[in-house]
Chain A
């Protein structure tokens, strides 16, 4: 695993790694990002929320995006970035799958979906982080950006 520091641009890179499309990668990325979140100063509860969001995102990338294809990778980047007066932990997880439309993802809180077996991952990622963005990366791939403010009280 490659850990590196990049201080000259103002952003501090805590992790930059390519993972194979396996469930082991989910555990490994979660552990690496939990470590990075701890080093960035997040308390235990915040680390837990960040870890859960990362787990859900990695599962989506490995299972739904790359469909366990061993020729496809999941790229994970973690930075501490300054935006104005804010300092954020920014996690970018990119798969090499066919992508999806956010508007077509059913609302897991809707009465008719409450008892569905699956479909809560994206919702939980949004609930546990301060910001979440999803964008397509040409030619094939989806990048999810998860942002947690340092010192944020959102739960």
Chain B
């Protein structure tokens, strides 16, 4: 199964529910395109829900990092929600876990954008 993305608006925060695999090819390019489109449209508060992501490879990690910097360069903020243990482990061993603002609860994550 490749990746599926569903975008929804919660107040002024744009939530992207991601499911499947974020790997080199279709998965990573779909995420890249979605983040570029949202930032181009002026969305500045983006929450990436990775709760149903079963697999991320180094290309997928690269897209998370690129998305983070792309949104930040537009004056916005990209945060992560609901990491699976494997994705959390991956971000920890690549020292990226502390780079991202990671949340486990969606309501708490949404509120954090207002802080």
- Interfacial residues, chain A to chain B (CB-CB below 8 A): 23, 26, 48, 52, 55-56, 59, 63, 108-109, 114-118, 120-121, 123-124, 127, 155
A48 & B86 in contact (Cβ 8 Å cutoff): yes
Chain A to chain B contacts (Cβ below 8 Å), 15 pairs: A23-B24, A48-B86, A59-B24, A59-B57, A63-B24, A109-B95, A115-B68, A115-B99, A116-B65, A117-B63, A117-B65, A117-B66, A118-B62, A124-B58, A155-B89
Bound complex: CA of A112 vs CA of B62, how far in Å?
15
Q: Which residues of B contact A52 (CB under 8 A)?
A: 57
Bound complex: CA of A109 vs CA of B92, how far in Å?
11
Known pairs A26-B24, A59-B24, A123-B94 / 11 extra A-B pairs, C-beta < 8 Å: A52-B57, A59-B59, A108-B94, A109-B95, A116-B62, A117-B63, A117-B66, A120-B61, A121-B58, A124-B90, A124-B93
Min CB gap B40→A, angstroms: 19
Q: Which residues of A contact B66 (CB under 8 A)?
A: 117
B59 & A114 in contact (Cβ 8 Å cutoff): no
- Interfacial residues, chain B to chain A (CB-CB below 8 A): 23-25, 57-59, 61-63, 65-66, 68-69, 86, 89-90, 93-96, 99
Provided the pairs A23-B25, A26-B24, A117-B65 are in contact, do residues A56 and B58 lie with their beta carbons within 8 angstroms? yes
Bound complex: CA of A48 vs CA of B93, how far in Å?
15
Provided the pairs A118-B58, A118-B59, A124-B58 are in contact, do residues A109 and B24 lie with their beta carbons within 8 angstroms? no
Q: Which of B62, B93, B96 is close to A117, meaning CB atoms less than 8 Å apart? A: B62
Nearest B residue to A111, CB-CB? B95
Bound complex: CA of A59 vs CA of B59, how far in Å?
10
Q: Which residues of A contact B99 (CB under 8 A)?
A: 114-115
Provided the pairs A55-B57, A59-B59 are in contact, do residues A115 and B65 lie with their beta carbons within 8 angstroms? yes
B69 & A120 in contact (Cβ 8 Å cutoff): no
B96 & A127 in contact (Cβ 8 Å cutoff): no
Nearest A residue to B32, CB-CB? A117
